């Protein structure tokens, strides 16, 4: 990633250069350290606020260039609205908003981690710092012709001014690890498919060994031996061989059943023989956002030394039309032994997940399985880009995911499963078919299909992230096409319920 600023913590002292960002509430009130620093410039701020009709509403800001009485080049005041209402995820967003006010060319900025009532606590200061990092991300690896005036300076530094520097630094360690996982996931999603094909994806996952994750790669031969006919059928039309990658982080008690995270990793989805229309097909380089999230999550858990046993399993393939590609009407046998009639080769994600879920439940007997997949256009029709669709066979897991979603602002909305929808995928020729036959309830019939491969009644949740994982809605903490959605959500789920 380019543009990552060097982030540090320091005391509340007036910066002598660069950009200063401070917060006020909807009464234009500052905290004591901020007020002291602004000193004689306070009157200037009040005048500017009046002129600009800035009232301190959350998300609004006011800029003063070369403010008299201060040494900085620019002062930015960001409104937080009613300070008492701020949740942790709001503070992360404030960090993002603050970074958003640092011009591309600026080499140093100071952000005062203070609210009108006083200094943010160390956790809040660290949340603010995480927001800065997430916002600073830019995928510009392939930009070779930047103009002089939008080149970032060689060195950029952001200092978070806070009351208890040591405690904030300590709280930041885990948050930095999590942001690192998000960045890793974003990079994978943004990367084009000529660079990031299954073997290369597996290679990048191997980088997790550096943080102590055990990584195993299953090649076509190994998957053939296991009988993964559903996954292999998807990849057989591609010049690039398929892979399954298993990542293990053993930070918990020895012998404790692991939590399992499963990802759809379709490096490119042309639709196969049921080929997609040309318009927008380039977006299908992001059809591995589920797998990217799992890799980012495993990286984050290991980097922050989470006290949990976790396993990440991703099926990585490319869905291409070719003389060897599978056809509509073909019947494949999955690892579970169940047979599948292929109606539409573009409904490939569920075929990949079918074998990877079965494999994971049988091999690891996990406490639960959560899969993430950019699975259906239908979930985007239903929920847009704000919520991911959630399907679950377990109310406790569903509830915990809901809470983690609210806490991190990576929100999930539960959708139904029922025998009525399940019947829609019964096939004339095989045990089931890979589409529901009509477009109605398309996200649900996809989930029903996957549920048939959840072995041994393992508690399970499926997150359809077609609307949230890629081509994402810009926010204060994300300007990237690939959002890294789900890393913060699942890290939070683990931290809140499964670590001791």
Check residue 37 for interaction with ligand BES (CB under 6 A).
Answer: no
Check residue 266 for interaction with Zn ion (CB under 5 A).
Answer: yes
Check residue 238 for interaction with ligand BES (CB under 6 A).
Answer: no
Residue 435: contacted member of Zn ion, Mn ion, ligand BES, none (CB under 5 to 8 Å, by partner type)? ligand BES
| Nearest C-alpha neighbor of 406 from the set 291, 496, 470, 498 | 496
Residue 466: contacted member of Mn ion, ligand BES, Zn ion, none (CB under 5 to 8 Å, by partner type)? ligand BES
Buried b (16+ CB within 10 A) or exposed e, 56-89: bebebbbbbeebeebebbbbbbbbbbebeebebb
Check residue 318 for interaction with Mn ion (CB under 5 A).
Answer: no
Beta pairing partners, 478: 475
- What tokens were used for 46? 């009040």
| Nearest C-alpha neighbor of 75 from the set 115, 22, 153, 11 | 22
Beta pairing partners, 236: none
H or E element, residue 314: strand 309-319
Residue 394: contacted member of Mn ion, Zn ion, ligand BES, none (CB under 5 to 8 Å, by partner type)? none
Check residue 376 for interaction with ligand BES (CB under 6 A).
Answer: yes
Residue nearest to ligand BES (CB): 377
To the query of whether residue 304 is one of the catalytic residues in this protein, the response is: no
Check residue 318 for interaction with ligand BES (CB under 6 A).
Answer: no
- What tokens were used for 362? 């049988």
Check residue 378 for interaction with ligand BES (CB under 6 A).
Answer: yes
Residue nearest to Zn ion (CB): 269
Site residues (CB under 5 A) for Mn ion, limited to 249-288 = 269
Is the CB of residue 214 less than 8 Å from the CB of residue 247?
yes
Give the residue with the Cβ less far from ligand BES, 346 or 491.
346
Site residues (CB under 5 A) for Mn ion, limited to 346-365 = 346, 348
Choose, from 175, 350, 488, 492, the residue flagged as catalytic. 350
Instruction: In angstroms, give the least distance from the CB of 433 to ligand BES.
Output: 10
Check residue 287 for interaction with ligand BES (CB under 6 A).
Answer: yes
Cα atoms in the Cβ-side hemisphere of radius 13 Å centred on 141: 11
Give the residue with the Cβ less far from Zn ion, 349 or 436.
349
Instruction: In angstroms, give the least distance from the CB of 415 to ligand BES.
Output: 14
Angle at 300 between CA 298 and CA 305, to 5 degrees: 95
Beta pairing partners, 161: 10, 112
Check residue 491 for interaction with Mn ion (CB under 5 A).
Answer: no
Q: Tell me phi and psi for residue 391, to 5 degrees.
A: -125, 140
Choose, from 29, 276, 305, 367, the residue flagged as catalytic. 276
Check residue 412 for interaction with ligand BES (CB under 6 A).
Answer: no
**How large is the greatest C-alpha to C-alpha distance in the chain, in angstroms?**
81
Alpha-carbon span 168 to 487, nearest angstrom? 22
Give the residue with the Cβ less far from ligand BES, 346 or 476.
346
Site string for Mn ion, 328-347 (x = CB under 5 A): ------------------x-
Residue nearest to Mn ion (CB): 346
Angle at 71 between CA 61 and CA 109, to 5 degrees: 55
To the query of whether residue 50 is one of the catalytic residues in this protein, the response is: no
Stretch that binds Zn ion, among 115-123, 144-152, 286-294, 474-482 (CB under 5 A): 286-294
Q: Which of 37, 121, 435, 458 binds ligand BES (CB under 6 A)?
A: 435
Are β-strands 368-373 and 259-269 bridged in parallel, bridged antiparallel, or unpaired? parallel
- What tokens were used for 373? 């997949």
Task: Write the DSSP assignment of 212-271 as a string of letters.
Answer: T-EEEEE-HHHHHHHT-HHHHHHHTTSSSPPEEEEEEEE-S-TTPPPEEEEEEEEEEE--
Site string for Zn ion, 340-369 (x = CB under 5 A): ---------x--------------------
- What tokens were used for 178? 């999590």
Residues in contact with ligand BES, counted by CB under 6 A, come to a total of: 15
Alpha-carbon span 451 to 445, nearest angstrom? 10
Site residues (CB under 6 A) for ligand BES, limited to 332-351 = 344, 346-349
Is the CB of residue 96 less than 8 Å from the CB of residue 135?
yes
Check residue 464 for interaction with Mn ion (CB under 5 A).
Answer: no
Are β-strands 460-464 and 388-392 bridged in parallel, bridged antiparallel, or unpaired? antiparallel
| Residue 210: burial class (beta carbons within 10 Å; 0-12, 13-18, 19+) | exposed
Buried b (16+ CB within 10 A) or exposed e, 122-145: bbbbbbbbbbbbbbbbbbeeeeee
Instruction: In angstroms, give the least distance from the CB of 212 to ligand BES.
Output: 33
Check residue 442 for interaction with ligand BES (CB under 6 A).
Answer: yes
Give the residue with the Cβ less far from Mn ion, 266 or 361.
266
Neighbours of 163 (CB within 10 A): 18
Instruction: In angstroms, give the least distance from the CB of 151 to Mn ion.
Output: 39
Site string for ligand BES, 267-286 (x = CB under 6 A): --x-----------------
Check residue 269 for interaction with Zn ion (CB under 5 A).
Answer: yes
Check residue 464 for interaction with ligand BES (CB under 6 A).
Answer: no
Q: Tell me phi and psi for residue 190, to 5 degrees.
A: -75, -25
Residues in contact with Zn ion, counted by CB under 5 A, come to a total of: 4
Which residues contact Mn ion by CB under 5 A? Answer: 269, 346, 348
Residues designated as active site:
276, 350
Q: Interface residues with Zn ion (CB under 5 A)?
A: 266, 269, 287, 349
Name the residues that contact ligand BES, by CB under 6 A: 269, 287, 344, 346-349, 374-378, 435, 442, 466
């Amino acid at each position: 990633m380019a543009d990552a600023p060097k982030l540090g913590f320091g005391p509340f002292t007036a910066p002598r250069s660069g950009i200063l960002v401070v917060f006020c509430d909807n009464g234009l009130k500052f905290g004591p350290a901020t007020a002291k620093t602004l000193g004689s410039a306070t009157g200037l701020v009040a005048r500017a606020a009046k002129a600009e009709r800035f009232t301190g509403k959350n998300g609004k800001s006011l800029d003063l260039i070369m403010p008299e009485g201060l040494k900085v080049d620019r002062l930015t005041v960001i409104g937080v609205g009613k300070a008492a209402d701020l949740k942790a995820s709001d503070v992360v967003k404030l960090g993002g908003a603050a970074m958003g006010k640092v011009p591309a060319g600026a080499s140093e900025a100071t952000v005062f981690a203070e609210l009108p009532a006083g200094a943010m606590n160390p956790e809040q200061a660290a949340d603010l710092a995480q927001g800065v990092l997430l916002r600073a991300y830019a995928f510009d690896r392939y930009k070779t012709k930047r103009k002089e005036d939008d080149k970032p300076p060689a060195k950029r530094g952001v200092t978070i001014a806070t009351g208890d520097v040591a405690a904030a630094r300590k709280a930041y360690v885990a948050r930095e690890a999590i942001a690192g996982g998000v960045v890793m996931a974003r990079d994978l999603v943004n990367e084009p498919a000529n660079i990031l094909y299954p073997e290369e994806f597996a290679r990048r996952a191997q980088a997790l060994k550096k943080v102590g994750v055990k990584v195993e790669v299953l090649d076509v031969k190994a998957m053939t031996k296991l009988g993964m006919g559903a996954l292999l059928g998807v990849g057989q039309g591609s010049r690039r061989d398929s892979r399954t990658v298993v990542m293990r982080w053993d930070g918990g008690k020895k012998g404790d059943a692991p939590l399992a995270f499963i990802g759809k990793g379709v490096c490119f989805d042309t639709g196969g023989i049921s080929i997609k229309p040309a318009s927008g097909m380039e977006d299908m380089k992001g059809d591995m956002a589920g797998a990217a999230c799992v890799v980012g999550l495993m990286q984050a858990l290991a980097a922050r030394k989470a006290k949990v046993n976790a396993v990440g399993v991703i099926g990585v393939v490319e869905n291409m039309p070719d003389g060897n590609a599978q056809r509509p009407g073909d019947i494949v046998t999955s690892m579970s032994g169940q047979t599948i009639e292929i109606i539409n080769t573009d409904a490939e994600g569920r075929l990949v997940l079918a074998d990877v879920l079965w494999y994971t439940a049988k091999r690891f007997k996990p406490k639960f399985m959560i899969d993430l997949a950019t699975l259906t256009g239908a979930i985007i029709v239903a929920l847009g880009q704000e919520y991911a669709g959630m399907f679950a066979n377990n109310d406790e897991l569903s509830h915990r995911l809901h809470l983690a979603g609210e806490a991190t602002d990576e929100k999930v909305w539960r959708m139904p499963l029922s025998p009525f929808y399940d019947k829609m995928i019964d096939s004339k020729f095989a045990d089931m078919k890979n589409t529901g036959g009509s477009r109605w309830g398309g996200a649900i019939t996809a989930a029903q299909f996957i549920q048939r491969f959840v072995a041994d009644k393992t508690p399970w949740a499926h997150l359809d992230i077609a609307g949230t994982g890629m081509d994402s809605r810009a926010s204060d903490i994300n300007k990237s096409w690939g959002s890294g959605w789900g890393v913060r959500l699942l890290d939070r789920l683990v931290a809140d319920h499964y670590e001791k």
